[in-house]
Amino acid sequence: MGFQHPDISAFPEFSMVIGEERAHSGNGIDWGHVYPGTGRITREIRLASPDDVDRAVATAKAAHPAWRALPGDRRRDLMFRLASIIEAGAAEMTPLLTAENGSILIAGGHMSFDAAQKFRYFGGWADKIDGRTVSTWGGPAHDYVMYEPYGTVGVIVPWNGPLFAATMVMAPALAAGNCVVLKAPELAPWSLMKLMEAIHEAGFPAGVVNLVTGGPDVGAAMVGHPGIDKIEFIGSGATARKILANASETLKPVGLELGGKSAVIVFADADLQAAAKRGLSGAVSANGQGCVNGTRLLVERAVYEPYLQMLKAMAAHVKVGDPFAMDTFMGPVISQTALDRIDGMVRRGVEQGGEVLCGGARMEGDHGEGYFYPITVLAGIDPTSEIARNEVFGPVLVVTPFDSEEEAIRLANDSDYGLGAYVHTTNLARAHRVAGQMMAGQVQVNGSGEAMTPCVPFGGMKHSGHGRLGGIEGLREFQQVRNVWVNLQE
């Protein structure tokens, strides 16, 4: 029987926007976008090519002097106007978010609200960019610091949340006075095409934001382009290594927000029901395809069994199905390739001693046409096993017991990743003590995503990347520092 297929008549028209030019296609390869809810092609588009990247960069470079010189209050007003347009168009944006990667419909409104909040928050910084005076010694002098934009920022975002990721980068980059060349991922291009329509409607000068929809060759062309002054990449560690090697040829700075295998520590004194609900969100949020999702559950042995039973009972009540249905809480993963990878990791986890508490195999029946994998919980997982150490990027949780606070901290930090960490306890002293020892860029106590707001810094440690997006730290990521020293003796 299958599920509803997207209505392509509502899709945005322009897959490429360079200055005033709005093109239905680029000069690259033909690409058939597949909707993961049905496994069928929605629409074929011709992707951009490296030649299109050249034109986009040249256009951004030409637009930058005027954008940089535009008074901060004018940039602020444009960003505020864009935020209002995004909010007003949420009803049109929401089905596109579902159509591009299978995100559930009920999450779409939040994504538009979040995007608007980012432009509003960083728009508020645009008229407050200043420097500082530095006290010096060694002779009469006046020394001051200036914060300047880089110029043209290349933005490469992943398919699991293109609108969320792109606006997390674009808002501070634009507020700081940079121009942008944005690559929409070929697996999920529609929301960023729609965002470009909103940018045009808001009245941004032509060339300040340019869009090229493409695959790895387009990303590589951006990274290696001498006209791009900084790259901001959100995606996998494997791709990040290639990007860093490519960027080394031009010595351009690269900001990286990469994957994670975030630990969730549940102490015996926690509100167990709340901790189980938030623990389950690591499998449900973004259909399990979130870089900061808590997917490695460490549970104190005294409450290990009741916690597992709560997880299993809650998982049974999560409806996995048609992403366009309002009562669906989890949709498909992105592709057949992803489905096979997830299933393979789960099977090997079982072979290595994991007990399947729920899920564990591809969904069939009405779900058979799409790429659906159920919430899967593997209990008793060895912390050294593949599935406990590597990012699954699917709706899979692994659970391991611990006996002491020290052991919990050691297990949580024994990872190549360091993006997020979650601590569940009602002991305030323990909360601060454990949070202070987590080797992760963001630690949430008794939370599961509430901290992901524009006003706080977000980013990783270790193999989860470097640099921060959000807050004043996010603005500084897109500014260079100039120091001026004036001799007052002459």
Whats the size of the chain, residue-wise?
490
With respect to residue 37, please indicate whether it lies within any of the assigned structural domains.
yes
Q: Give Cβ neighbours of residue 290 (< 8 Å, ≥ 6 apart).
A: 160, 161, 282
The two three-digit tokens of residue 310, written as one number: 């709560």
Both 291 and 246 in one domain: the answer is no
Residue 1 is predicted with a pLDDT of: 58
With respect to residue 352, please indicate whether it lies within any of the assigned structural domains.
yes
* 232, 257, 300, 477: the active-site residue: 257
Both 189 and 267 in one domain: the answer is no
* 197, 291, 300, 358: the active-site residue: 291
CATH number at residue 251: 3.40.605.10
Q: Give Cβ neighbours of residue 191 (< 8 Å, ≥ 6 apart).
A: 93, 96, 97, 100, 111, 162, 163
DSSP string, 160-189: SSHHHHHHHHHHHHHHTT-EEEEEEETTS-
CATH number at residue 339: 3.40.309.10
Both 57 and 71 in one domain: the answer is yes
Both 301 and 423 in one domain: the answer is yes
Residue 319 is predicted with a pLDDT of: 97
Q: What angle do CA 376, 377, 382 make, to 5 degrees?
A: 130
Both 139 and 39 in one domain: the answer is yes
Return d(Cα 183, Cα 52) in angstroms, integer: 11
Return d(Cα 78, Cα 73) in angstroms, integer: 9
**Helix 162-175, helix 105-126: angle, nearest 10:** 10
Buried-state track 234-254, b at ≥16 Cβ within 10 A, e below 16: bbebebbeebeebbeeeebeb
Instruction: Enter the DSSP assignment of 439.
Output: -
With respect to residue 488, please indicate whether it lies within any of the assigned structural domains.
no
Q: Which residue has the tokens 């002054």?
A: 229
Q: Give Cβ neighbours of residue 428 (< 8 Å, ≥ 6 apart).
A: none
Residue 396 is predicted with a pLDDT of: 98
Both 246 and 272 in one domain: the answer is no
Return d(Cα 327, Cα 335) in angstroms, integer: 23
How many domains does the chain divide into? 2
Query: What residues of the chain score a pLDDT lower than 70?
Result: 1
Both 88 and 53 in one domain: the answer is yes
With respect to residue 461, please indicate whether it lies within any of the assigned structural domains.
no
pTM here is 0.96
With respect to residue 487, please indicate whether it lies within any of the assigned structural domains.
no
Q: What is the CA radius of gyration of the chain?
A: 23
Neighbour-count burial of 294, counting CB atoms closer than 10 A to its CB (0-12 exposed, 13-18 middle, 19+ buried): buried
Respond yes or no: is residue 257 known to be catalytic.
yes
Domain that holds residue 418: 262-453
With respect to residue 270, please indicate whether it lies within any of the assigned structural domains.
yes
Both 124 and 273 in one domain: the answer is no
Both 289 and 158 in one domain: the answer is no
With respect to residue 3, please indicate whether it lies within any of the assigned structural domains.
no
DSSP string, 270-289: S-HHHHHHHHHHHHHGGGG-
Both 395 and 430 in one domain: the answer is yes
Neighbour-count burial of 127, counting CB atoms closer than 10 A to its CB (0-12 exposed, 13-18 middle, 19+ buried): middle
Both 14 and 93 in one domain: the answer is yes
Both 251 and 311 in one domain: the answer is no
